Chains A and B, each alone.
Chain A
Amino acid sequence: MELLEKIKTAITEKFPQAIENYEVSYDFPVFYIKKDEIHQVLEFLKTDTELNFHFLTDLTGIQSADEKQLGVIYHLHNMPKNYRVRLKTYFDINKPEIPTATDLWPGANWMERETYDFFGVKFKGHPKLKKILNVDEMDAFPLRKDFPLEDQTRDDKSDKMFGR
């Protein structure tokens, strides 16, 4: 995919170590970026005149299949040229810290709060990182896989088979 190559070359030129992996998934270029360089890469993609990913479409979290890592997923969009890209960054679940993107896009504010609320990802530098959709008393991160959907207090029940 042409766009993938273009973004890959641009990022590697500036940050030779940043890209861990890349792929094309359903016509969407996807990059796995190292956590330490994610903020610089986002800033570069936003300010670069050629790539110009000026619009943050979406920001959300995910837990890896082995449940040992958390991830944050960014969808960026360059409207004039209609480029879209997905950036993913994974980090250890016991140390879920990542720099905030609110300084680049004010719109990232609530999306990061939502990600914190549901996955417990701490966004360093976020102006007001507190729960947004769940009640303040909630002490779990409900979208993590170890949080059961129903009957959180029972241990004689498994919803692995049919969902209930």
Chain B
Amino acid sequence: MTKIKNSSSENNKVEEEKEYSILNLGPTHPATHGIFQNILKMDGEIIHEAEPTVGYIHRAFEKIAERRPYNQIRPLTDRLNYCSSPINNIGWDMTVEKLLGVKIPKKVDYMRVIIMELARIADHLICNSVIGVDTGAMTGFLYIFQWREKIYEIYESICGARLTTNIGRIGGFDKEWTKETWDKIHYFLEHYPKALQEFTNLLERNKIFMDRTINCGPISAEMALSYSFTGPNLRAAGVDYDVRVMNPYSSYQDFKFDVPIGQSGDTYDRFMVRQHEMWNSLEIIRQAIKNMPKDEPFKADVPDFFLPPKEEVYNNMEALIYHFKIIMGEMDIPKGEVYHCVEGGNGELGFYLVSDGGRTPFRLHFRRPCFIYYQAYPEMVKGIMLSDAIITMSSMNVIAGELDA
């Protein structure tokens, strides 16, 4: 038997010569929604390797906080996740309240719940509508975005600001909500569900959208846990961890709501988890309004953090002293270490506060969910197409302000 040459598989093996090209995605790219750079090693249109560079808008909040009195740190937290600043503000207030051991009236808790859930809706709404834009569906975004505006109007009537809200005080709110605020909230509750339903109809069972997002950028539950994922991204992977349920704060134990979870942790699941959470948030707000305690103050009894009325400041020495002390930030803060976490728009937002009894924190660390889960991004986009990497990023809801702190 003679051996025929060139028929064995060994000889047919073709040595493929591969040359990867380097592509800079960012630092300022319209599709990244923030300032991130990704140095991608591309094999044609397939991503072979990704190397993220972060820190372009780092503002050293943790250092600045070491020189600021406690009530002046709240404006810094605004600028973390600026899509849902009230959650950050209230999370910080609750951290200090935990350190001080303040007892908060139920009414304040419920008012905070309303604000935080509105903020969650605003956050998820931006994220989900932008997933639509990145997949080519502009309509949903344009249609639903005016409802974020309505939420901002509610913030505005409470605290005067829209994006960087600095809402509330340590111990409650600075004043009672006006009738106008309540009218705006009721208007929102009445009309927003219709818009959300239409948005749902546009995308949720849309064949094109589903084909585009299902199995795009998936992450398994094990991997999500090992990368310390939290929030909707972890729930989309199938882990029912929600800080509101596990470590209830601000009377969340009084409310009934579901924790939606996904299965495969892909872009579609992340989208769907956020969709369901928006419906849940509406339900929570309705419960809060219904069970809102009457005849309770809108703030706790912490005179160290509330400016006395102006007439008293001008006519009463005690009040003048208090006014000066509050403005200069000369309050007695107990020594101690606190870790407090809230369910932010995109995960467990933690505040690790070390006080040595001085006027400022000794050390303050923000556990920023974005920063922690964004490191899994290179792993998630390996081997997928560039266009899929873009929607994977937008579905992860990475916010530059929170990432870089």
Contact = CB atoms under 8 A, between A and B. Distances in A.
Interface of A: 25-26, 28, 30, 54-58, 60, 62-63, 65, 73, 75, 79, 82, 84, 86, 105-107, 109-111, 114, 118, 132-135, 142-143, 147, 149, 159, 162-164
Contact of B338 (A26, A73, A107, A109): A26
A86 B339 contact: yes
Dominant SS among interface residues on chain B = mixed
Nearest to A144: B63
Nearest to A54: B225
Nearest to B360: A163
B99 A110 contact: no
A84 to B, nearest CB: 8
A149 B339 contact: no
A159 B359 CA distance: 13
A107 B226 contact: yes
Nearest to B66: A149
B339 A75 contact: yes
B226 A105 contact: yes
Contacts of B235: none
A56 B373 CA distance: 12
A157 to B, nearest CB: 13
B328 A134 contact: no
Contact of A25 (B63, B229, B336): B336
B362 A57 contact: no
Contacts of B229: 107
B346 to A, nearest CB: 15
Interface residues of B, number: 47
10 contacts: A57-B350, A62-B354, A62-B363, A107-B375, A110-B375, A118-B62, A132-B54, A133-B55, A162-B328, A163-B360
Q: Which of A30, A54, A62 has the most CB of B within 10 A?
A: A62
Contacts of B350: 57-58, 75
Contacts of A107: 226-229, 372-373, 375-376
Interface in B231-257: 239, 241, 246-247
Given A57-B350, A62-B354, A65-B356, A110 B362 contact: no
A29 B317 CA distance: 44
Contact of B247 (A62, A82, A114): A82
B241 A75 contact: no
B208 interface: no
Interface string B61-73: 0111011110000
A164 B375 CA distance: 36
Interface of B: 54-55, 58, 60, 62-64, 66-69, 98-99, 225-229, 239, 241, 246-247, 328-329, 336-339, 341, 348, 350, 352, 354, 356, 360, 362-363, 365, 367, 371-376, 404-405
B365 A58 contact: yes
Contacts of A106: 226-227, 375-376
A11 to B, nearest CB: 20
A101 B99 CA distance: 29
Contacts of B241: 79
A133 B404 CA distance: 7
Nearest to B98: A26
Contacts of A58: 339, 350, 352, 365, 367
B88 to A, nearest CB: 16
Q: Which of B66, B339, B405 has the most CB of A within 10 A?
A: B339
Contact of B64 (A54, A110, A149): A149
Nearest to B405: A133
Contact of B67 (A60, A79, A143, A163): A163
Contacts of A30: 337
Contacts of B360: 163
A104 B5 CA distance: 52
B371 A149 contact: no
A76 B338 CA distance: 14
